[in-house]
Amino acid sequence: MKILVTGGAGFIASHVVDLYLAHGHEVVILDDLSTGRVSNLNPAAKFVEMDIRDPKVADVFAEEKPDVVNHHAAQMDVRRSVVDPLFDASVNILGSLNLMENARKHAVKLFVYICSGGAAYGEPKYLPCDEEHPIDPICQYGASKHTVEHYLYMYHINYGLEYTILRYPNVYGPRQDPQGEAGVVAIFAGKMLRGEQVTIFGDGEQVRDFVYVEDCARANVLAITRPHVSNIYNLGSGRGLSVNQIFQTLKEIIGYPYGPIHLPAKMGETRKIYLDAARAERELGWKMEVSLQEGMLRTVDYLQKEEVKT
């Protein structure tokens, strides 16, 4: 199959591209390189540098005629979404609509959309959150990402566009930017490896669901190969870990000698969230395979070799 992967120069989607290619698919990457990196691009894939909101996206669909769209590209910084909600909505909603309209016009067989399981649910009413949990986001990023799910359902009912929605947990691993605004594992590990002070916003008892990037990439392969109806699927471990626990685990792996500095918590960030992935296991055959300890070791090894200059 030919697959158009948006955001394919980014942290997670670049791993998805690698796995699609390894399974013999033809891949076209669409990325504006605003946060993605040229170094993440797989040379076996065709690369088109373009914003997903650009009207010229229509030309890409007309020329490439993809069978599948895998849509990872997004404004994914919770803090930026709070400060600049118009930009957040422009990229995440209007950009996604641009892709959906072209998928409809060019008879795309399947649209795989990446949503946020961490931001869309808001403060949970029960844990772990399954796909039936109420959607009450407390940040603009969660609202914009979830809005696209409604459009996909509408395009399925009205135009027959098949879709699979993957709601991600907190994803970590190689290629995550240690200098970025999101990704606590990479940020903490990067600072520790450079001998810098680590900052924790709030008391550190915020709880998240951490899954290694290659596990999430594998779900994207199952989404296009395992027969299933158009639906929403959580990916997750089913258990939560606090930011303080992540700090302590990395501290022990790296041998970091200092404690963290605590600053005030950031607006719009959920206090506690982790996800029930039973539907993904039942219908897609997916479950988390890489343990936290193993995933952390791989991540630190990558950062030591590729990212951090001490």
Average pLDDT per run of 10 along the chain, which is 310 residues long?
98 98 98 96 98 98 98 93 96 98 98 95 96 95 97 98 97 91 89 96 95 98 98 97 97 97 87 96 98 96 79
Hey, which residues does 27 pair with through a beta bridge? 3
Q: Which residues are catalytic?
A: 141
The whole-number pLDDT of residue 79 equals 85
CA distances from 193 to 117, 204, 250, 261 (A): 30, 20, 10, 16
The whole-number pLDDT of residue 306 equals 86
| Residue carrying the six token digits 């070791």 | 297
Q: Write down the domain spans for the chain.
A: 2-171+211-234, 173-208+239-275+290-307
Q: What is the pTM for the complete model shown?
A: 0.95
CA-to-CA distance for 173 and 41, rounded, in angstroms?
Answer: 16
CA distances from 186 to 118, 148, 173, 175 (A): 17, 28, 7, 9
Question: Could you tell me which of 144, 35, 32, 137 has the C-alpha nearest to residue 85?
Answer: 144
Is the domain spanning 173-208+239-275+290-307 CATH 3.90.25.10? The answer is yes
Reported as half-sphere exposure (CB side, CA atoms, 13 A), residue 258 has a value of 15
The whole-number pLDDT of residue 267 equals 77
The whole-number pLDDT of residue 310 equals 45
Is the domain spanning 2-171+211-234 CATH 3.40.50.720? The answer is yes
The whole-number pLDDT of residue 180 equals 72
Rg (CA), the chain: 19
The whole-number pLDDT of residue 78 equals 86
